Homo-oligomer: A and B are copies of this chain.
Amino acid sequence: MNEPVWDPYDRNCPSRQVLDRVGDRWSVLVVGALTQGPRRFSELAKTVDGVSQKMLTQTLRGLERDGLVARTIFAQIPPRVEYELTASGRSLSEPMLALEEWTKANMPRIVTAREAYDGAHAPKA
């Protein structure tokens, strides 16, 4: 019955890798975009502004490998591939979205803090 104790604070624990992926910049945005429903590769590329096709592919493969995203290929010309969250992916989207919401809600405070910090640490010339 004793389940293994996953400890991301241990550099050798597999959970560390997963936390890395889950905390990845592009993963958060891609999962967030997929929360709206299935999306095609090109749609994701447009939604997640600034992501290169290389990184988008990498991110999607990683999410797919971890069972968070499902990839469906429609045999037709031109090719059509859709990505959508799996049950795991949907459960992950909750804490991820919370992070996104926190960010948006706290931007004013952070911007202020940055200005204060930069003002107090930069003055040299």
Contact = CB atoms under 8 A, between A and B. Distances in A.
Nearest to A10: B49
Interface residues of A, number: 54
Interface in A4-57: 4, 6, 8-12, 14-16, 18-20, 22-25, 27-29, 32-33, 47-50
B88 A106 contact: yes
Contacts of A18: 103, 106-107, 110
B8 A117 contact: no
Contact of A9 (B4, B49, B96): B49
Nearest to A6: B104
Give this chain's copy count: 2
User: Most B CB atoms within 10 A — which of A12, A29, A33, A67?
Assistant: A67
A57 to B, nearest CB: 14
A89 to B, nearest CB: 10
Kindly name the residue among A9, A92, A103 whose own CB sees the greatest number of chain B CB atoms within 10 A: A103
A15 to B, nearest CB: 5
Given A9-B32, A10-B49, A18-B110, 9 more contacts: A6-B107, A8-B29, A15-B103, A19-B29, A19-B100, A20-B25, A22-B99, A23-B27, A88-B113
